[in-house]
Amino acid sequence: MHLAFPRDVTARESGSLDIADEVLGTQALACHGELLRVLRSPRWKWRLRVRVDLLRGALALEPAVSEWLARGAPGAHRSLLARRERLERVARARLARLTHEEGASLAEVLGHLERLMSEPLPRPPGDDEPVLFEGSQGLRHFLAWPGAWGFALLVLTHQHLLGRRAGVVPVLVLGGALLAVYFLRYTGRFWLTAKRLVWQPRLGEPVQVSLASIAPEGITALAAWGEVRVEGERRVTVRHAGAAGRLAALLELHRRSPFLGRVDGTPRVRDVSVVPAWRVPEGAAPGSRTEPGVAVLRPGYAAFLPAHRAADMFRGLTAPLGAKPEADAAEVDVTVELLVEQLRLLPEADFDAYLRQAVFAQGGELWFADEVRPGEAASAGHVCLVGARGVGMQLRPDSVQAEATHRIVRQWAA
């Protein structure tokens, strides 16, 4: 549509509007009003995705509307200016709910929204995308929900406030309604892969964020609330999910080198045995104090990692190889076994390099295969290995680990 603007200075100063300006004002008022109603709706994301044409229409009108308002013509355009300001305020607030991106103008804000609403909804990982970690809401997190606090306060005070009129049935009905609201509105399921985090609320649209887009300080975990907030190309909040601390740790691990872009979620180190173990001096008396940890057996070596140094090992892995880890890193909900399993996603050379770094940094043990000899097991089903310096390990492999353990030990003796 071609829009003609008044060129006569006298007409502009007198505030008169030509027909084209009247048509433009009417179109913009209608478009902005309908878009405002959609953005203010409780189900604004769903309605906006269905009516993405409203965003495109507002974008198409924006250059002409901006030029008209810039000329400062008084009169009918004042209502359009007020509505446009309200639209920009609401649109910016909605955009902030979706992403950290901002716009310098209303046109940029609407453009970001149009792009996001035009994207297809993410789907949960399929068989061709291995899942590193997944989970759903835990009932224990219901107690951390503010609605549960309000209900508990009501239960404690309703008898005092209502006296004889207090009844059990209304309280039970309210409690059931709050529990339903909690599960339907504030819970869901998440999947973490080597490339993305997907959050599917029980009600509402799924959302995903790519690990490559997560900012350096873009991961916040509130373990007591079961909540993880992620800032990347999209804003994602995983609510009331179990193991929130572990999810945050794995996100931090896989959003950076050496994992980002180099793993696909499939273990690449096959010839390895990871077994619970205890570090003991050779000839230690039965019942003497031992140090729990994890034994890692490879064809060329055996290693021991102390269990209580899992957080330190995590800090070392989230720093570049050979660099000093951040001293003020927060405590994380990980185990040594979990970190070794994540290292198995890397190529074998990287696995060996990072494991050796962890052993030396965390006060573990590392012996070459020709330094290891069998020792006296403490009980049936255990395996005792003694390395250099008279320090040994008592291994307790389960039925699955036993086969890999004995196979690697036989390779040492060959």
pLDDT at 15: 46
Confidence of residue 226 (pLDDT cuts 50, 70, 90): confident
Rounded to whole angstroms, the Cα distance separating 110 from 101 reads 12
pLDDT per position as a tens digit, 269-294: 999 999 998 888 765 555 556 789 99
Sheet holding 365-368, edge to edge: 365-368, 301-306, 291-298, 273-281, 391-395, 383-386, 373-374
Rounded to whole angstroms, the Cα distance separating 349 from 368 reads 16
Rounded to whole angstroms, the Cα distance separating 266 from 18 reads 67
Rounded to whole angstroms, the Cα distance separating 342 from 318 reads 12
Rounded to whole angstroms, the Cα distance separating 102 from 99 reads 8
pLDDT at 140: 61
DSSP assignment of 248-305, as one string?
A: HHHHHHHTSTTTTTT--SS----S-EEEEEEEEETTPPTT---EEEEEEEETTEEEEE
Point out the least confidently predicted range of 159-168, 195-204, 208-217, 221-230: 159-168
Please, what is the Cα angle at 310 between 304 and 311, to 5 degrees? Answer: 150
pLDDT per position as a tens digit, 23-81: 777 888 899 999 999 999 988 999 999 999 999 999 999 888 888 777 765 555 678 88
Rounded to whole angstroms, the Cα distance separating 176 from 148 reads 11
Judge whether residue 223 has pLDDT over 70: yes
Judge whether residue 106 has pLDDT over 80: yes
Residue 115: Cβ within 10 Å count: 13
pLDDT per position as a tens digit, 352-372: 999 999 999 888 999 998 888
Alpha helices for 163-228 (secondary structure H): 168-185
* 3-state SS, residue 149: helix
66 and 80 Cβ atoms separated by less than 8 Å: no
What does the radius of gyration of the chain's CA atoms come to, in whole angstroms? 31
Residue 368: Cβ within 10 Å count: 12
pLDDT per position as a tens digit, 235-262: 998 877 668 889 999 999 999 988 998 9
Confidence of residue 217 (pLDDT cuts 50, 70, 90): confident
Tokens of 131: 């899942």
pLDDT at 159: 56
